[in-house]
Chain A
Amino acid sequence: MKRILIVDDEVHIRSLLEQTLEDIEFLHNIEVEIHQASDGRNGLNMIASVRPDLVFLDVMMPEMNGYEVCKAVKSNSELQQTLIIMLTAKGQETDREKGVGNGADYFMTKPFDPDEVLELAGKLLGLA
């Protein structure tokens, strides 16, 4: 069983990612539990409580932005194994630099392609 957490303040993006990721069960024949958080602080709390294998983390969010969440996770010895995919906007190269600086594992540029999301998640979860 794999746990995935989606942290984004946009309900449609959460829904899109959720529906996309549900296909992992179909494709890899493995149970997937998908959780959602709508802001950074909540997201960080859920990373600690749910202990997801993979987190999709938006950058621009209320309460706590994606970098702060990422930094907090990667500097916590219990949580730092959590894989983080940051959702950034293209054209903002600084996003990427900041993300790397804060320990993000991977980046996806909006608007992303659901097929790429599936492929990347599968790869990072060791399912491919």
Chain B
Amino acid sequence: MEYQDMESIRNSMIDGRIVEKLMSENSLLRSEVRVSHEAAEITTRLVIEQFEKAESLMQKFESASGFLKAVMDAAMQISIIATDLDGQIILFNRGAEFMLGYTEKEARQMSFFDIFDNKDLLNNCVTLMANTETLMSDREKHAEVISQISSQINEGVFCRRNGSRFPVSFAITPIKENGNIVGCLSVAMDISTLKHAENELQRAYKEISEANERLQKLDKLKSDFLSSVSHELRTPLTSIRGFSKLIGKDFERYFVPLTGENPALAAKSEKIKENLSIILSETERLTRLINDVLDLSKIESQKTHWREEAVNMSEMLRHAVNAAKGQFDDKPEIELITDIPEALPYVFGDYDRFVQVTVNLLNNASKFTKKGSVTVHAFETGSGFVQVDVTDTGCGFPQEEAEAVFDKFRQVCHGDTLEEKPTGTGLGLSISHEIITRFGGKIWARSALNQGSTFSFTLPAMVQETGMAETTENADGKLILVVDDEMAIRSLLTQFFTSYGFRVATADNGKTAIDMAKKFDPDLITMDIAMPVMDGKTAIDYMKQDEKLKDIPIVVLSAFNDSFAANGDVVFDKPLNEQRLIDSVFMLINKEKLKDCHACLIICRQDCERSVEIPSISPKNAEMCQPHDLTAKLENGYKGLVVIPADMMDYVDLQRISTYESIQLLILPHKQ
């Protein structure tokens, strides 16, 4: 066969076709190898991809198991114990093992009540059990108790294997099978750290309140002490003052005539009289000091009764200047110059206290000035305040100490500029500071050593005269009374209305508002609702009953109050709609039609037709609304004016609707 094969090959080799065939097979093979190579490459790539996928899956799994582990770890902090209706433990998780020190195996031999100690809850259960006596079996009772106390979070005490106890917070959930309670699951957490913190907090709180109480006692003790000291000091002072005077009198009456022509005795008697007068003036000073100490302590402990009324600043200042004039009569080398305009705006506050401040500044000025002048200059600032400057040409003080001069017992003066020690009490400026700040003003000092000083204070102007340049023909100097307990709002509205050429008076509560309305007869009132002393509603009710006041239109501005008071910035737009406000005001004052009044609800009676006589409001924009429909409209987000004729006031809850921010509330006067 081999030979034959060989033979055939030989034959074939001779045959060129066979060679050709072999060659083609060869090339076929080569291409197959190439394809398989490519296939292997693809496979490898796919395998690698698979590996990568597997790897990322494994990573994911790893992180997932980390999460699971965290959950498990977290669960370690929570004990989960299930019991059947006999209280036998049937489930005891790792957390419970960790928390209580029993293994699950051990726990399964125990009753829940072996580890649980909560007298209140147990008592509660006992009561519940007693109340459920009518039920058939204990198991039914237990089921009833479980359903009663489930879903409440309770606190109790758990008992560890080693006998130690710790507080837990736990919840009980009934386990149900076919709708019947067959046991309960209790989930509990160790709250000893929390309890500890709570106890610490309570202890700290107790300490603080005790300290506070002690402080209050001390404060009262201080006030009582000051009051009695002042009382006790007065008796010896009375003696010193009185007897010095008596001695002086007797001396003058009986002894001076005896000196006769003897010049030595005459000189001595002059000296005696001079010494007596020193005793007297020092007594006066001591008396002032006692009065000031008492005054300041009362202001600081808020026991002072402040008067709150419209104060005529021009009058007040002239009064104060007159009171302080005596100081200057003794010092002819100081000229007292006053520059007090006749028509200063009114301010709101305590007349006598303002006199006290001004006199104090004038006394200081005269005290620290040897020669030159003391000037009182009062003027209205552009920002709605009245400012008073008291300028002297005295010794002055470094500007760095300008704030310190308002401290108690602080007198900034230097030996070489003033021959005698100043004779004040050192409390006048502290008291002045308290007074001015109390009424919303500021007090400050400007000075330089040896260049005199200027003490200034401001108080918010109550009635602002119309600025000539800005007067609009509409406002015509009409008076608006702004009633609000927030100083910021009063100041804001004052500036706002003044910019339109109105004059403005302000009041900080309903009662003052009524008094001021009677006194000043304003053309319009803006009224806040929630205020101390007397709220806006009461004031409006009163005004609408009052023959003289009932015709004054009232704009209720309540809701924007809160947002303003919160940050105290002067912002007009939100939620106060200034355009709507000023339109309403012009409409009410000038009885002209509202311009561009977009939406307007008019509260009317049931039988009221569209033709209600509110001529000033464009009827095409106005919508009639009965009182009982109002709330629904407001709830639905109505934005715009709500007009309430005065005789409809009793039908609406003013207090409530004034809390809606999107509306402007107008109260129209009774028809004339």
User: Which size bracket describes the interface of B in this complex?
Assistant: 20 to 34
Asked whether, in the complex, the Cβ of B234 is within 8 Å of the Cβ of A20, the reply is: no
With contacts A90-B291, A91-B291, A91-B298 taken as known, whether A114 is within 8 angstroms of B242 at the C-beta atoms is yes
A111, CB-defined interface residue at 8 Å: yes
With contacts A91-B291, A91-B295, A111-B287 taken as known, whether A16 is within 8 angstroms of B237 at the C-beta atoms is no
With contacts A110-B234, A111-B234 taken as known, whether A13 is within 8 angstroms of B227 at the C-beta atoms is no
User: Bound state CA distance, A10 and B246, in angstroms?
Assistant: 18
A115, CB-defined interface residue at 8 Å: yes
With contacts A90-B291, A91-B294 taken as known, whether A114 is within 8 angstroms of B246 at the C-beta atoms is yes
Least CB distance from A56 to B in Å reads: 12
A92: which of B227, B240, B242 is its contact (CB, 8 Å)? B227
Least CB distance from A126 to B in Å reads: 24
B579, CB-defined interface residue at 8 Å: no
With contacts A89-B230, A115-B245 taken as known, whether A13 is within 8 angstroms of B238 at the C-beta atoms is yes
- Cβ–Cβ < 8 Å partners of A19 in chain B: 246
Asked whether, in the complex, the Cβ of A110 is within 8 Å of the Cβ of B238, the reply is: yes
With contacts A91-B295, A91-B298 taken as known, whether A112 is within 8 angstroms of B238 at the C-beta atoms is yes
Q: Chain B 228-268 against A: per-residue CB contact (8 Å), 1 yes, 0 no? A: 00110011111111110110010000000000000000000
A100, CB-defined interface residue at 8 Å: no
User: Bound state CA distance, A112 and B242, in angstroms?
Assistant: 7
B283, CB-defined interface residue at 8 Å: yes
Least CB distance from B464 to A in Å reads: 35
- Cβ–Cβ < 8 Å partners of A72 in chain B: none
- Cβ–Cβ < 8 Å partners of A115 in chain B: 245
Residue of A nearest to B242 (CB): A16
Least CB distance from A23 to B in Å reads: 8
User: Bound state CA distance, A110 and B243, in angstroms?
Assistant: 14
A78, CB-defined interface residue at 8 Å: no
Which residues A84-128 have CB closer than 8 A to chain B? 89-92, 110-115
- Cβ–Cβ < 8 Å partners of A12 in chain B: 235-236, 239, 243
Residue of A nearest to B227 (CB): A92
A60, CB-defined interface residue at 8 Å: yes
Least CB distance from B279 to A in Å reads: 12
A10: which of B227, B235, B291, B298 is its contact (CB, 8 Å)? B235
Residue of B nearest to A112 (CB): B238
User: Bound state CA distance, A91 and B289, in angstroms?
Assistant: 12
Asked whether, in the complex, the Cβ of A114 is within 8 Å of the Cβ of B235, the reply is: no
Asked whether, in the complex, the Cβ of B230 is within 8 Å of the Cβ of A113, the reply is: no
User: Bound state CA distance, A60 and B231, in angstroms?
Assistant: 9
- Cβ–Cβ < 8 Å partners of A16 in chain B: 238-239, 242-243, 246
- Cβ–Cβ < 8 Å partners of B237 in chain A: 110-111
Size of A's binding interface in residues, CB under 8 A: 19
Least CB distance from B381 to A in Å reads: 35
B245: which of A13, A110, A114 is its contact (CB, 8 Å)? A114
Residue of A nearest to B245 (CB): A114
- Cβ–Cβ < 8 Å partners of B243 in chain A: 12, 16
- Cβ–Cβ < 8 Å partners of A10 in chain B: 235, 239
- Cβ–Cβ < 8 Å partners of B291 in chain A: 90-91
With contacts A10-B235, A91-B294, A91-B295 taken as known, whether A111 is within 8 angstroms of B230 at the C-beta atoms is no
Residue of B nearest to A19 (CB): B246
Least CB distance from A98 to B in Å reads: 14
User: Bound state CA distance, A19 and B248, in angstroms?
Assistant: 13
- Cβ–Cβ < 8 Å partners of B290 in chain A: 91
- Cβ–Cβ < 8 Å partners of B235 in chain A: 10, 12-13, 110
B241: which of A90, A92, A111 is its contact (CB, 8 Å)? A111
User: Bound state CA distance, A56 and B238, in angstroms?
Assistant: 14
A113: which of B231, B239, B241 is its contact (CB, 8 Å)? B241
- Cβ–Cβ < 8 Å partners of A60 in chain B: 231
Asked whether, in the complex, the Cβ of B231 is within 8 Å of the Cβ of A111, the reply is: no
- Cβ–Cβ < 8 Å partners of A112 in chain B: 238, 241-242
User: Bound state CA distance, A114 and B283, in angstroms?
Assistant: 14
Least CB distance from B296 to A in Å reads: 11
Residue of A nearest to B246 (CB): A19
Which residues A55-97 have CB closer than 8 A to chain B? 60, 89-92
With contacts A89-B234, A91-B227, A91-B298 taken as known, whether A20 is within 8 angstroms of B246 at the C-beta atoms is yes
User: Bound state CA distance, A23 and B347, in angstroms?
Assistant: 48
Least CB distance from A54 to B in Å reads: 18
Residue of B nearest to A58 (CB): B235
New contact pairs (18) apart from A16-B239, A111-B241, CB-CB < 8 Å = A12-B235, A13-B239, A16-B242, A17-B242, A19-B246, A20-B246, A89-B231, A91-B230, A91-B290, A92-B227, A92-B231, A110-B238, A111-B234, A111-B242, A111-B283, A112-B241, A114-B242, A115-B245
5 cross-chain pairs, A with B, having the tightest CB-CB distances, nearest first: A111-B238, A110-B234, A91-B294, A16-B242, A111-B237
- Pairs A–B under 8 Å by Cβ, sample size 29: A12-B235, A12-B239, A13-B239, A16-B238, A16-B239, A16-B243, A16-B246, A19-B246, A89-B230, A89-B231, A90-B234, A90-B291, A90-B294, A91-B227, A91-B290, A91-B294, A91-B295, A110-B237, A111-B237, A111-B241, A111-B242, A111-B283, A112-B241, A112-B242, A113-B242, A113-B245, A114-B245, A114-B246, A115-B245
- B→A interface (CB under 8 Å): 227, 230-231, 234-243, 245-246, 249, 283, 287, 290-291, 294-295, 298
